[in-house]
Amino acid sequence: MPVSEGLNFALMLAESGVIDSAVHEVMVRPQLLMAAESSPGVKTAMKNQVMKWRGQMIRQTAKGTVVERFHDEIELYQQVCKWDQDYFIEHADEVVKKLEGQSSFYFKAKNLVAKEHQKHNPMFQRFFCDKWYEYIAYALKEAQESEIEENKEELLKDLYQRIETLKQVEEVTEAGDEKKAGRLWDMAKAKLTQTDVDVMKKIAKFLKNNNGLQDIAEKLGRMASEVDDPNKERVKAEELKLVEEKSDNVTDDIVGIHESDDLAKLLPNEAMFLAYPELEVVFYKHLADKRLMNYRMQGTQRKLRKVKAYKRQTKQVDQDKGPFIVCIDASGSMSGFPENCAKALAYGLMQIALADERDCYVIMFSTQQITYELTKQDGLSEVVNFLSYSFHGGTDLGPVLDQSIDLMSDGKYKNADLVVLSDFIAPSQPEAMLSRVEKLKAQKNRFHAVNLSKYGNPELLEMFDHCWSYHPSKLSQLGKLFRIR
C-alpha cells in the first residue's frame, strides 16, 4: 500500500456523500423552508451559509482531522501490507495484540489468526489486509458521520437563531429589499432580548416621525452614485443623429434647367418634337442620350446618420461605493433631542448601507472614541449597543477626525462618506487637519456635516463639502441644504 494511504482515506471520506446528505437534511427542515420562502434575499443568504458550511466540512475532512485519530492503526496496516508471507505468519499474533483496545478489527483479526490451517494459505495475508481495510474505512466513516452530525447541530442552532432574530426585527427594519434582507440575515447571528428590540423600535419610530432626517440619509446615500470621475479616459462613441442633406430628388424648388432623361421634369417645348412624325426620332435620340431639357429641382431631406464623437466616460461607469463613517458627538450638550436625532440618522444610514451593500461604521466621540461596525457579523448586537449608549462628556473633534482620516487613507475606503453629527460648538481645526481633509476629497471621498444646533461654529463647518442643519427647536422642519466652500 502507498505511504499516502491516510490521505486516500481522507479523500474517500470527503467524497463519500455523507456531507451532501447532511446538507440535504438541513435544507429540507420545514422551519428553514418557510424562512427561505419568505424572502428571496433570505433564501440566497441561507443557501450561501449552508454551502459555506459544506465547503468547510469538505476541507476539514480532506485535511484528515478524523484520519489522525486512526494514525497508529493506519501506519501499522501499511507496514503489515508490505511484509512478505513468512514474516507475516511469524508476527501475526503480535499484530493482533497491538490492535487490542485500539481497533474494531481486533476480534475479527483474532478469529482469523486463530485458525492455523488458514495462515499458510498464499492468499491469507491479502485476505487479512483487505478485511482490515474494510474495518478501518467503516470506523472512519462512523467517526466522520458523528463529527458531521455534531457540526450539523451547531449549524441548525445558528440557523434557527438567525430566523428568530429576523422575526424580532421584522417590525423594526423594513426588509423588503432583497439585498437588505440578505445582509440582515448575515447580521442576525446575535441573540436579541425584548429590551434590545424595544430600543430599536423606539429609534425606528423616531426616524419615521422625523422625515427630515430620513431625507438627509437618502441624499447622503445617493451621493456615492453621483461621482464624476475626471480620471476616466475619453472614448469614441457612435450615436444616431437626424441630419439634413441637399438632394436633387426632393422637389422643393426649381433652381434651373439641365439635360437629362427625366420625363416627369420635361420642359414643354421638348414635347413639340412628338407632334411631327419626321421629328419624333429626334426626341427619342435625345431621350436615349439623356439630352432632353429638364427642370433642375433641389431640396433637403432628413435622414438618420451615425455620428462619431468623443465622450468622457463619467457617471455611466459604475463606481464602487465606499462605507459610511458616521462620527457622532456624544458630549453632554447633545443629550435629549439631538442625541435621538443622531442615533436615528445613523440607523437610517445603516438601512441604506444594507441595501447598497456598503459598510457602516459609527464612531462615538467625546473625550474618547468608541467604534461600532453596524453591518458586520453580529452587527445587530453592535446596533443595540450603539443605540443604548448614553451621551456624556465634552466635545473633542480633533482625535475622531484623525481616526477617520486614518481609516479613509486605506484603499478600501475609496468613495467613502464621512458624516459628522454634532452641535459643532467647538474650535476650528488647524491647517494640518484641513490639508489632510482636502487630500482625501481629491480621492473622491466626501465630508458631510449635520448640524444639530443653531450655535455651531461657522468656521468649523467650512471644512465640509455639504452641511445640513436640523435644529431641535424645529421638530418637523429640515434645515435648508447649502454648500459651503
Average pLDDT over residues 79-108: 86
Q: 400 in a domain, yes or no?
A: yes
- C-alpha 321/C-alpha 360 separation (Å) is 11
pLDDT at 448: 92
- Residues 108 and 12 occupy one common structural domain: yes
> For 383-420, what is each residue's pLDDT tens digit?
888 888 887 777 778 888 888 888 888 777 777 889 99
pLDDT at 481: 37
Q: 246 in a domain, yes or no?
A: yes
DSSP summary character for residue 464: S
- Residues 276 and 347 occupy one common structural domain: no
CB-based contacts of 216, cutoff 8 Å, min separation 6: 345, 348, 450, 468, 470, 478
- C-alpha 241/C-alpha 425 separation (Å) is 57
pLDDT at 245: 64
Q: Which of 202-211, 378-387, 475-484 has the lowest mean pLDDT?
A: 475-484
- Residues 145 and 257 occupy one common structural domain: no
State in Å, rounded, how far the first CA of the chain is from the last one. 78
- Residues 134 and 262 occupy one common structural domain: no
pLDDT at 474: 46
Q: Give the closest residue to 304 by CA, choosing from 235, 245, 378.
A: 245
Does residue 26 register a pLDDT over 60?
Answer: yes
Residue 182 one-letter amino acid = G
CB-based contacts of 457, cutoff 8 Å, min separation 6: 424, 425, 426, 427, 428
pLDDT category at 226 given cuts 50, 70, 90 is: low
- Residues 478 and 377 occupy one common structural domain: yes
Considering only residues 243 and 349, tell me which one the structure prediction assigns the higher pLDDT.
349
CB 20 within 8 A of CB 75: no
- C-alpha 137/C-alpha 99 separation (Å) is 15
pLDDT category at 319 given cuts 50, 70, 90 is: low
Domain count within the chain: 3
Does residue 7 register a pLDDT over 50?
Answer: no
- Residues 47 and 106 occupy one common structural domain: yes
Count of CB atoms within 10 A of residue 155's CB?
21
Three-state DSSP state, 313: coil
- C-alpha 206/C-alpha 421 separation (Å) is 17
C-alpha cell at 325: 463613517
> For 134-144, what is each residue's pLDDT tens digit?
888 888 778 87
- Residues 295 and 396 occupy one common structural domain: no
- C-alpha 329/C-alpha 335 separation (Å) is 10
Q: Give the closest residue to 58 by CA, choosing from 134, 155, 148.
A: 148
- Residues 253 and 354 occupy one common structural domain: no
Q: 18 in a domain, yes or no?
A: yes
Q: 203 in a domain, yes or no?
A: no
Residue with cell 468656521: 459
Three-state DSSP state, 106: helix
Three-state DSSP state, 453: coil
Three-state DSSP state, 454: coil
pLDDT at 315: 46
Q: 194 in a domain, yes or no?
A: no
The alpha-carbon radius of gyration of the chain (Å, integer) is 41
pLDDT at 179: 58
Does residue 105 register a pLDDT over 80?
Answer: yes
- Residues 101 and 143 occupy one common structural domain: yes
Does residue 236 register a pLDDT over 80?
Answer: no
- C-alpha 203/C-alpha 482 separation (Å) is 27
Q: Which of 8-17, 113-122, 441-450 has the lowest mean pLDDT?
A: 8-17
Does residue 314 register a pLDDT over 80?
Answer: no
Average pLDDT over residues 434-449: 88
Last residue of a domain, one of 312, 331, 348: 312
Average pLDDT over residues 270-295: 87
C-alpha cell at 56: 468547510
Q: Which of 175-179, 300-304, 411-415, 430-434 has the lowest mean pLDDT?
A: 175-179
E-strand spans in 106-249?
234-247
pLDDT at 230: 47
Considering only residues 76 and 302, tell me which one the structure prediction assigns the higher pLDDT.
76
- C-alpha 72/C-alpha 6 separation (Å) is 10
pLDDT at 419: 92
pLDDT at 480: 38
Q: 192 in a domain, yes or no?
A: no
Does residue 113 register a pLDDT over 50?
Answer: yes
> For 144-167, what is each residue's pLDDT tens digit?
778 888 888 888 888 888 888 777
- Average pLDDT, whole number, for the chain? 78
Instruction: Give me the domain span that covers residue 275.
Output: 234-312
- Residues 152 and 52 occupy one common structural domain: yes
CATH of the domain at 460: 3.40.50.410
Out of 337-346, 369-378, 380-389, 470-479, give the one with best mean pLDDT.
Answer: 337-346
pTM: predicted TM-score of the whole model, two decimal places:
0.59
- C-alpha 141/C-alpha 104 separation (Å) is 13
Last residue of a domain, one of 274, 296, 312: 312
Does residue 301 register a pLDDT over 80?
Answer: no
- C-alpha 343/C-alpha 203 separation (Å) is 7
Does residue 317 register a pLDDT over 50?
Answer: no
- C-alpha 150/C-alpha 465 separation (Å) is 54
- Residues 270 and 346 occupy one common structural domain: no
pLDDT at 420: 92
CB-based contacts of 285, cutoff 8 Å, min separation 6: none
pLDDT at 47: 85
pLDDT at 476: 44
